[in-house]
Amino acid sequence: AQRVTQPEKLLSVFKGAPVELKCNYSYSGSPELFWYVQYSRQRLQLLLRHISRESIKGFTADLNKGETSFHLKKPFAQEEDSAMYYCAPGGYGGATNKLIFGTGTLLAVQP
């Protein structure tokens, strides 16, 4: 079964510390992978996608096909990074636009 796992429900770090939010998936084929973020009182929005290889707000995510992982990283956390982060591979049922969302990781950056 297609599945995505975000093992940490809550990740608490201090400002300036490195951050790594883990995401592992079990998919056949080569899914397109996304990280979505939901800031307090805001809509869920795209943070980044693996195919674009971008760095958004200092975050990067590397696809490791061997480990089937797509961890989200940032070298120095900021307080404004506090939010709920969802990993979401596409490809459910063979359709690239059908996403399977992980259960989410709440990132809390302490001052």
Partner 1 sequence: DAGITQSPRHKVTETGTPVTLRCHQTENHRYMYWYRQDPGHGLRLIHYSYGVKDTDKGEVSDGYSVSRSKTEDFLLTLESATSSQTSVYFCAISEGTQGAKNIQYFGAGTRLSVL
Per CB under 8 A, residues contacting partner 1 are 6, 32, 34, 43-46, 49, 51-52, 86, 88, 90, 92, 95-104
Q: Which is nearer to partner 1, 34 or 70 (CB)?
A: 34
The span from the CA of 27 to the CA of 84, in Å, is 23
Q: Which is nearer to partner 1, 78 or 96 (CB)?
A: 96
Do residues 25 and 5 lie in contact, with contact meaning Cβ atoms separated by under 8 Å? yes
Closest CA to 22 of 89, 73, 84, 77: 73
* CB 63 to partner 1: min, Å: 16
